[in-house]
Amino acid sequence: MKKSLILLAGVLFPVMGWASGGGAMYPNDDISIDWSDKAAMQRGAALFSNYCLSCHSAGYSRYNRVGKDLGISDELMSENLIFTTDKYGEKTKVGSLMKVNMTGEYAEQAFGTAPPDLSLIARSRGTHWLYNYLRGFYLDDTRPMGVNNGVFPAVGMPHVLAELEGLKTAKKEMQDDGHGGQHEVIVGFEQVTQGSMTAEEYDQAVKDLVAFLDYLAEPYKETRQNVGTGVLIFLFFFLILAYLLKKEYWKDVH
Ligand code: HEC
């Protein structure tokens, strides 16, 4: 009885997760990350330290480790990507963890929720979600920050990339929710003020940023995949060898 219950839970939970994750989101565009494109990740790292690291930390990563992986020298890192100071007022060192100065309590007062650490966000939310979330902010004067989000409704985060993207309003429509009722869904955005980037440039910038977050969440991903391929190739040749050996041993038995 107990066993079958556990089995049932094992089958049901993933299905429930899938069902709840399938909620409507707008925008809902696909993204693919090119792990060999280190230049994109470098641009993403610059965006991250300029626009995100003031509120969010990436407390599992050190600046110089990121630099080493992405080919950014310690000097460049220190000059262009580090903007925080330590508790003595000195500039944060390249060997430090990527932490913010703001305290959790202060952030909670200012935004209603503390901005979460983003080290592993690409694994918990996925790159698809992140790509659309960062392109999903629209004007909404009922919200404390003046913006809402088509992917994360009633989000507490302001649209920090508005100077790049500009501001948009959402076009909404009533649609059947499939259970006999109606609900409001976003069907499009309308640009109201221009940012410093065109729509294509902004999409590319967000893609770079998400590529960087994806790297951050799993710095060993590339190594892991290469090792995996190597192991499979080894096993394949080992199989042939083992088979030949088996034939040799059993040759005289029959
Ligand atoms: C002004 C402070 C601030 C800045 C700057 C900021 N954020 Fe946020 N962010 C927040 C707050 C606050 C939340 C929590 C929102 C909530 O839960 O309602 C949040 C939430 C998020 C989430 C959702 C986390 C989750 O899974 O719940 C992501 C992803 C995120 N931010 C990414 C970014 C990125 C990428 C940048 C840089 C482009 C950035 N943020 C810059 C304040 C900020």
How confident is the model over 178-234, as pLDDT tens digits? 888 998 899 999 999 999 999 999 999 999 999 999 999 999 988 999 999 999 999
- From 47, 56, 128, mutation site for ligand 1 pocket: most ligand atoms within 8 A of C-beta: 56
Q: What is the CATH number of the domain that holds 131?
A: 1.10.760.10
Could you give phi then psi for residue 241, rounded to 5 degrees? -60, -45
Kindly state if the Cβ of 230 falls inside 6 Å of ligand 1.
no
Query: Does some domain include residue 8?
Result: no
* 148 or 103, higher pLDDT: 148
- pLDDT of 5: 63
Residues 251 and 137 in one domain: no
Helix (H, G, I), strand (E, B) or coil at 168: strand
Residue 133 shares a structural domain with residue 253: no
Which ligand 1 atom sits nearest the alpha carbon of residue 52? 37
Please tell me whether residues 238 and 164 are part of one structural domain.
no
Do 136 and 81 have their domain in common? yes
Is residue 81 a part of any domain in this protein? yes
Asked if 196 and 253 sit in the same domain, the reply is: no
- The alpha carbons of the chain give a radius of gyration, in whole angstroms, of 24
Interhelix angle 199-217/63-70, nearest 10 degrees: 110
Tell me the C-alpha distance between 70 and 235, whole Å: 31
CA atoms within 13 A on the CB side of 100: 23
18 has a pLDDT exceeding 60: no
Q: Are 128 and 19 in contact (CB under 8 A)?
A: no
Q: Does residue 147 sit in the same domain as residue 235?
A: no
> Does the structure show a pLDDT above 80 at 244?
yes
The predicted structure's pLDDT at residue 86: 84
pLDDT for position 102: 84
Give the pLDDT of residue 239: 98
Q: What is the DSSP string of 93-155?
A: PTTSEE--SS-HHHHHHHHSSPPPP-TTHHHHT-HHHHHHHTT-EEE-TTSTTSEEESSSTT-
Q: What is the pLDDT of residue 193?
A: 97
pLDDT of 157 higher than 90: yes
pLDDT tens for residues 19-44? 444 468 999 999 999 999 999 999 99
Per-residue pLDDT, 103:
85
The average pLDDT across 145-162 equals: 96
Q: Is 160 in the pocket of ligand 1 (CB under 6 A)?
A: yes
Tell me if 251 is assigned to some domain: yes
Measured in Å, residue 204 CA sits from the centre of ligand 1 at 19
**Could you give the number of structural domains in the chain?**
2
Q: How high does pLDDT run on average in the chain?
A: 91
- Domain of 250? 229-254
| pLDDT at residue number 21 | 46
Does a structural domain hold residue 11? no
The band of 167, judged by pLDDT with boundaries at 50, 70 and 90, is very high
Q: Cα separation of 157 and 115, whole Å?
A: 8
Q: Per-residue confidence at 253, pLDDT binned at 50, 70, 90?
A: confident
Ligand 1: centre distance to CA 6 (Å)? 36
Cβ proximity of 152 and 115 under 8 Å: no
Same domain, 164 and 84: yes
Nearest CA to 129 out of 98, 156, 112, 152 is that of 152
- Please tell me the predicted confidence (pLDDT) of residue 146: 96
User: Is there a single domain that holds both residue 94 and residue 136?
Assistant: yes
Residue 195 domain-assigned (yes or no): yes
Q: Would you say residue 101 lies in a domain?
A: yes
Residue 3 located in a structural domain: no
Both 160 and 245 in a single domain? no
User: Is there a domain that residue 166 lies in?
Assistant: yes
Instruction: Check if 121 has its Cβ closer than 6 Å to any atom of ligand 1.
Output: yes
Rounded to whole angstroms, the Cα distance separating 171 from 92 reads 44
- Kindly state whether residues 43 and 107 are assigned to the same domain: yes
pTM across the whole model: 0.86
- Looking at the fold, whether 244 and 123 belong to one and the same domain comes out as no
pLDDT tens per residue, range 96-142: 999 988 888 899 999 989 999 999 999 999 999 999 999 999 999 99
202 & 242 share domain = no
Q: Kindly give the distance from the C-alpha atom of residue 215 to the centroid of ligand 1, in angstroms, as a whole number.
A: 18
